[in-house]
Structure 1
Amino acid sequence: MNHMTRLPVSLPARSPAMPDADACWAAFLARDRAMDGVFVGCVASTGIYCKPSCAARHPRRENMSFLPDPAAARAAGFRACLRCRPDEIGRDRLAVEKAVALIESAEEALRLEAIADHVGYAPHHFHRLFKRETGLTPAAFARGMRAERLKRALAQPGSVTAAIYEAGYNAPSRAYADAEQHLGMTPSAWKDGGRGVTIRWRVIDSSLGSMLVAATGKGLCRISFGEGEGALRARFPHADIRPADPALDVMAQRVVALVDDPAAGADLPVDVRGTSFQQAVWAALRAIPPGETRSYGAIAAAIGRPGAVRAAGTACGDNALAVLIPCHRVVRGDGSMGGYAWGLERKQALLAREADK
């Protein structure tokens, strides 16, 4: 039910900047799969280059150097590792890029076989590859893109039916099913500012200030610091906004506990919707263990989009569930705090508390 940004339309094959040498070495020691495709490691003693997640025994640090991609490694006289096959990362990403372009341009839903044939892979293999790179299956990715087109069409003048067909749906039933998943409400309710949707809310004190906690009948739709009923009504001016009931009171207490104990609300129900890209970023955020941080670049790489660092930052900013989806655990590549919608002092306090656990 959160505000959504436009889904990026391509999958850049490489990051605009690679990490420094110390960060690259740390990625190799951790065999960090999220950094595959961001850079390669070159081993002077063997003359080969590897991806960061290579399972081979680690060389000595003094024998390692790092380059941005396989082409640079080959130009420097190194050859590809036969165990981790670093060149296939680029080939796979280009295939996903090509598939995304095809899905975006298609007027109707495409079968997996057609997409795989278009990029030159066997269907079952490409299905696994696409999910590994994007966090979603090709079908789920296509539904997310189509739902985003529906959202944009609903924002324009005209009827709901016209918007449904303009977005590429063959029947309203499929549009309503996708809207339930991606918009959190029916197309007509979304177009009309949340009309017909009941949202309960309350403001509750926490050790880091007051928190707005709001939920639909399905789960939490807004957790924020320093907001109140007015902010909720501005987001959904025609929704049925009501005071908290006992069920929300219980959830609100668990939300407040999250501020001091990140594990307190792991199973809280949620009702937030976003684009396929946003959903992948938020899933990556929830995978960061308490007490640890990731860079925006690492989050982009973790979802198979190493070039989409800025878009990953935007998705973090669009997070509607403070603390529960821990966007405070994302920092800049140089280790500085970066931004935080609810204030850098809160971000620093949350990270300090988690580090002490």
Structure 2
Amino acid sequence: MQDTHIIDRVSEEHLWNQVFTRQTGADFFYAVSTMGVYCRPGCPSPRPLRKNTRFFRSPTEAEAAGFRACKRCDPKGERARIAQDVVRDASAFIEASDEVPSLDVLAKRSGYSRFHFLRMFRNHTGLTPRAYADAIRARRLHASLANGNRVIDAVADAGFGSESRVYENTATLLGMTPGAARRGGQGERIRTAFADCPFGRLLVGATAKGVCFIGFAEPDEALMADLRRRFPQAAISTDDAALAGTVGAVLDFLREPRQALDLPLDLRGTAFQQRVWRTLCTIPPGETRSYAQLAAMAGNPKAVRAVARSCATNPVSLAVPCHRVVGSDGGLTGYRWGVPRKQALLEHERALSAGPKPQV
């Protein structure tokens, strides 16, 4: 049996209040009789008069009553779906191209003007096509260097015109020098320690600078393989005694979460990734933020996809609490260690914030 719709449960005055305050995510639509259009409650159009406002459960109901979809808020999501398809096609075309396609070529391919295409691409990726192409080449460069290829060869394979471009922008592209990326941890020692935690096995890895990896909820072999993939050339050794305090801090955090784990960290990523990871640490336990909110907090409201990728590549789960980021509708989106664990972490944090202290 389906749940009763919101319109059946609350008064029209309550619905009107959501329209007046432009609430996003509300489960109804409103129409303006004098304009002949219907909208989402969060529509940025000028507010209608209350006497001219009607409420509907769905676009189908509104259209049956003779109203057409608003072009500003796109209540049926049709324009948004078209834009997503255009951006998805352009992104695939950029990725498959040896050279960075010009804006004119991309716009012509999309069937839109240069200005309209650029705006669509920025709105959906948070980047210009040029910046998106640079991000792809940076990823290829990092992968090539991690495989041990010479810097000059990796630069050429990734599609950069010269080494000077890479060295001028190492912080943005790699978060480290090309030589360090190529070495993949060569010459470094990573100490590791396993432990049992409420979600199964836990692996902590640390360099001389600080914790560089925290993984959990997988078999020992899988956790170690993940660490080796990130540092393929490093000397990895077990050192339970040296990491006893660090492992204890992680276990304490699981029992009673805080805003962030107070541990020295060795985080390696681009300048943008570093900013996102630092911002994640400001989210209080028991609270969540959407990817869009996190992007705004990190100083780039349009970079929602880039923020999501930064969360997905977070090497120190728990210490950098990416489990506190959710979808725009509040839904639990993908999590490296499994959505059920993400839900359990959030529920545990909320329970502790509310007062009782159940175990995870």
TM-score by shorter chain over 0.5: yes
Change (3 A) 1:212 1:179: farther
User: What is the identity, as a one-letter code, of the residue corresponding to 1:54?
Assistant: C
Return the match for 2:70 from 70, 77, 80: 80
| Greater Cα radius of gyration, structure 1 or 2 | 2
- Paired with 1:211 and 1:122, the residues of 2 have a C-alpha distance of 48
The answer for the alignment partner of 1:120 in structure 2 is 114
Alpha-carbon deviation of 1:345? 6.5
* Residue in 1 that maps onto 2:155: 164
Cα distance between partner residues in 2 of 1:262 and 1:273: 24
Say whether the 8 Å CA contact 2:38–2:68 is kept in structure 1. yes
What is the Cα deviation at residue 353 of structure 1? 1.7
The alignment partner of 2:159 has SS state of: coil
Match of 1:350 in 2: 345
Deviations 1:196-219 (A, max 9, x none): 455454556766666433345776
Aligned to 1:261: 257
Q: Partner of 2:317: helix, strand, or coil? A: coil
**Residue 63 of structure 1: SS of its match in structure 2?**
strand
1:166: Cα distance to partner?
A: 2.0
Per the alignment, residue 49 of structure 1 pairs with 38
- The alignment partner of 2:212 has SS state of strand
State the one-letter code of the partner of 1:78: R
Please list the CA deviations of residues 234-258 of structure 1 after superposition, one character each: whole Å capped at 9, or x if unmatched.
653421446789x988876665554
TM-score (norm 2): 0.55
User: Does 1:143 pair with 2:134?
Assistant: yes
Q: Secondary structure at the match of 1:238?
A: coil
**Cα distance per residue 1:318-344 (max 9 Å; x no partner):** 553322233376589897x78765467
The question of whether the paired residues in 2 share the 8 Å contact of 1:40 and 1:49 is answered with no
Structure 1 residue corresponding to 2:315, chosen from 313, 320, 327: 320
Flag the 1:256–1:80 CA change in 2: closer, same or farther, 3 A.
same
Taking the aligned partners of 1:76 and 1:331, their CA distance within structure 2 comes to 33
What is the CA–CA distance in structure 2 between the aligned matches of 1:233 and 1:347, rounded to whole Å?
24
For 1:327, what is the secondary structure of its paired residue?
Answer: helix
For 1:214, which of 205, 215, 228 is the aligned residue?
Answer: 205
Counterpart AA for 1:350 = L
Aligned pairs, number: 316
What is the letter of the counterpart of residue 321 of structure 2? I
The question of whether the paired residues in 2 share the 8 Å contact of 1:211 and 1:225 is answered with yes
In structure 2, the partner of 1:17 is none
Residues in 1 aligned to 2:279 and 2:38: alpha-carbon distance in whole angstroms: 28
Contact residue 154 and residue 163 of structure 1 kept, 8 A: yes
Distance across 1 between alignment mates of 2:83 and 2:191? 45
Q: Name the SS of the counterpart of 1:121 in structure 2.
A: helix
> Hey, what does 2:57 align to over in structure 1?
65
Q: Distance in 2 between matches of 1:290 and 1:175?
A: 39
CA deviation after TM superposition for structure 1 residue 146, in Å: 0.8
Displacement after TM superposition at 1:40 (Å): 9.4
What TM-score, normalized by structure 1, do the two folds share? 0.56
1:239 corresponds, among 231, 234, 239, to 234
Given the superposition, is the C-alpha separation of residues 210 and 113 from structure 1 closer, same or farther in structure 2, using an over 3 Å criterion? same
Give a deviation string over 1:42-74, Cα, whole Å, max 9, x none. 527563233563245598997123349xxx979
Structure 1 segment 322-341 matched on structure 2, within 5 A: 322-323=317-318, 324-327=320-323, 330=326
Deviates most, 53-62 or 252-261: 53-62
Distance 2:116 2:264 in 1: 39
Which structure exhibits the higher relative contact order, with contacts defined as CA atoms closer than 8 Å and separated by 6 or more residues?
Answer: 1
**Cα distance in 1, alignment partners of residues 116 and 84 from structure 2:** 15
Percent identity reads 34
**Residues 265-297 of structure 1, C-alpha deviation per residue, up to 9 Å, x if partnerless?**
4997562548x9x9999899879774456899x
Q: Quick one: distance in 1 between partners of 2:137 and 2:23?
A: 33
**1-structure distance, mates of 2:64, 2:142:** 46
2-side partners of 1:174 and 1:182: how far apart?
A: 10
Q: What is the CA RMSD across the aligned residues, in angstroms?
A: 6.2
Matched to 2:55, the amino acid is N
Structure 1: tracts of 5 or more residues without a match: 1-19
Is the 1:215–1:271 Cα contact (8 Å) retained in structure 2?
Answer: no
